[in-house]
Amino acid sequence: FSNYSAWHQRSLLLLRMHPDPAGLARALRSDIELVRNAMYVEPKDQSAWVYYDWLMPHLLECLSEDDQRALLEEEIRQCD
């Protein structure tokens, strides 16, 4: 999980592979689980957190206000 270059490359590829917002939203939603696992495995490793910091704004941009709210509430629950 600790590989800044891999996370960065993934972010570039996702944007190229999914130019439409709906496809990008599906891909980014699946990445939330991936990055959560990385955070749980090694919480002090900053590479997953940096990717998460990139991931969330891009995902929120693709969602409706209701879906944004639901996602943020879920993320808050995950922090408990």
Tens digits of pLDDT across the chain (80 residues):
568 999 999 999 999 999 999 999 999 999 999 999 988 898 888 999 999 999 999 999 999 999 999 999 999 998 87
Residue 75 CA: distances (Å) to CA of 17, 36, 52, 65, 80: 25, 10, 11, 15, 9
**Which residues fall within 8 angstroms of residue 15, CB to CB, at 6 or more apart?**
24, 58
Question: What pLDDT score was predicted for residue 80?
Answer: 74
